[in-house]
A and B are shown apart, each in its own frame.
Chain A
């Protein structure tokens, strides 16, 4: 008995520890960036509070354009991603409803659905690097056009990648955020019994799309609001994608901040801090703007819900199929392009395939590849293991103490995803330098954990809570202690969601650029930092090597997460 009391009474430590791990660096980070923004940074001679830095910031010639570009690209990317995700979700739920497998459309949607998961695993940077080659004036798409139709001898003189309006940046973000939002919507659908509402709508004579928009969307939107906010905050503050695809003169605000930090003149740190505070304000402002727009839209939309217009059921069907396939095709070709480049010796314009293949690119960088791959793997695995322990502890606490939610609210979980990375990571770095903690592995793991943990929690929470509670109960009645129930019954029964959560967490860790750069103090090179730093150079072959590897790692993790339970439970029909 004593041991039970001990193990169970240890459980409340988990949510406490988790919240501490979360709040401490965020609070410290905000603090650490606010002080220099107000002129206070004794190490660099700033020992008085004043608004001079902000005045400097506002007078900076590049600022206005950067702000405009940041807001435009961030909001547009979020809006387009959400619209596409809603359209695709409406069509996907139809495909699964009709159950008509012979239907050509239905099989297209099955392809889209299957293709989604690997697409989510591809890191932003790899996707952006691949996309940059795909849409460049001398890129793959133009080469195919030239080959099949027009015969352009020289690349057209368009500016596609890094265009001044940030259109390619928006495309790069849409490519990654649409599948993410789509998965979030699909995961929320069972909670509101969407299929039943669609059936009711259809029996009242509403077409599929209208049933979805009028009955399901109003119910599902509140459930995906936080993910939408996360996408908006991410799009506004993203650094790696903006470095690769965004315009450079002037760039978006987050890239501008990064440039100021990299400036050898250390006094630029004041400006960078003020910029980071401005970025936070912009993000909060954009979130508020989005929320108000939601409300205004609802006011206008309310009447539309009950105006009786039913639609014919097939509108937008083809549009959805087309956009789904375009999305998948673009993403797939982007990664394939990286693979081809990494194996090419010569691939000049206008050839659609490399003229000569080689493994030399890999061999030449082999020792650096090994080193960065190992750091990436080490970092991801440690962050994921810590995250899993904390999340399982929190979920167990929830069940043993029968607390309905171990986090004060879902908001806390989303906090690191809603505050711009550039803001609090810069603050953490400034503080870390002061505490002589900068560039330590501990700080690096911690910074990854901030982003890994929310995703691990969100992936694991539902399966954990939905496990039939009578299994652990009967285990206890058979004399098994809480620990034994956890290890012999719960964890094995939840093996698949556990591994999927681990793979998702690993993918998140692999894709982190700014945390690795800031918390690592530039001392740790991962596949992501290497890929992004090579992106500035022009050698597509090296970019191909690192970009492709970066995409490969999460894929392998995901593949393992799906294959291991299949193998382990090959003789257990009810778990396959």
Chain B
């Protein structure tokens, strides 16, 4: 369960929002909605621990009974998907996925896991491919799979559907939510798009 307690965000002393309380259970999706500039992306950056220091924050972030506030970003186990796929351009598709796999998974198993993951997103045999040579939909799927392979304990979605065209969008949405449920991940979506919020199915909190 991902739990936000009394989260407030200020920038240079001006409050963006205050006292946000939220609980997302495993496999559940909750949506935070609001216009651009209301601080919803900053909220996710704060959860990840990558918020610039011009912001002042208060409140508590709890994931499975563990307080995250004092942990560095790489130990928080929060998977995040952005608007852009942000595949590392210097790595191949397979290497992008391998980057996310924990190091304790050893050689053969690593290879198998990545093949399996590629298969799951219908990209078998694309291990060596340049990310730049994939279509937008394919890249989005690799980005999702990369996030999941890091074995996160919760999923944060920063408008990951907004740059895809209408048809792709619906399919990718379904895929993301299906994986969230399958891995029993508490999932927090921020968006300004009503269709995305509806499709998520869960509660909608307006900022």
Contact = CB atoms under 8 A, between A and B. Distances in A.
Interface of A: 1, 4-5, 402, 468, 470-471, 473-482, 485, 488-489, 492-493, 495, 569, 571-575
Contacts of B90: 492-493, 495, 569, 572, 575
Contacts of A569: 90
Nearest to A3: B72
Given A402-B52, A479-B102, A473 B133 contact: no
A402 B45 CA distance: 15
Contact of B77 (A5, A479, A480): A479
Interface of B: 45, 48-50, 52-54, 70-80, 82, 84, 86, 88-92, 99-100, 102, 128, 130-133, 146-147, 150
A473 B73 contact: yes
B89 to A, nearest CB: 4
Contacts of B75: 1, 4, 479
Most buried by A among B80, B88, B100, B150: B88
Contacts of B50: 473, 476-477
Q: Which 4 pairs of residues, A with B, have the shortest CB-CB distance? A: A573-B132, A476-B73, A574-B132, A4-B72
A478 B132 contact: no
A477 B99 contact: no
B48 A477 contact: yes
B77 A473 contact: no
Interface core residue of A477, A488, A492, A571 (most chain B CB under 10 Å): A477
B118 to A, nearest CB: 17
B80 A474 contact: yes
A5 B99 CA distance: 22
A480 B77 CA distance: 11
A478 B48 contact: no
B46 to A, nearest CB: 12
B196 to A, nearest CB: 20
- Chain B residues touching A, majority SS: loop
A65 to B, nearest CB: 58
Given A477-B147, A573-B130, 9 more contacts: A1-B72, A476-B48, A476-B73, A477-B76, A477-B150, A478-B147, A479-B102, A480-B99, A481-B74
B82 A474 contact: yes
A13 B100 CA distance: 31
Contacts of A476: 48-50, 72-74
A572 B100 contact: no
Contacts of B74: 4, 475-482, 485
A470 B82 contact: yes
A489 B88 contact: yes
Given A1-B71, A4-B72, A492-B90, A479 B150 contact: yes
Contacts of B73: 473, 476-477
A473 B100 contact: no
A402 B7 CA distance: 23
B82 A471 contact: no
A569 B146 CA distance: 21
B89 A477 contact: no
15 contacts: A1-B71, A470-B86, A473-B45, A475-B74, A476-B49, A477-B73, A477-B147, A477-B150, A478-B146, A481-B74, A482-B72, A488-B99, A572-B130, A572-B132, A573-B132
Nearest to A570: B130
Contacts of A572: 89-90, 130, 132
Contacts of B92: 571
A140 to B, nearest CB: 47
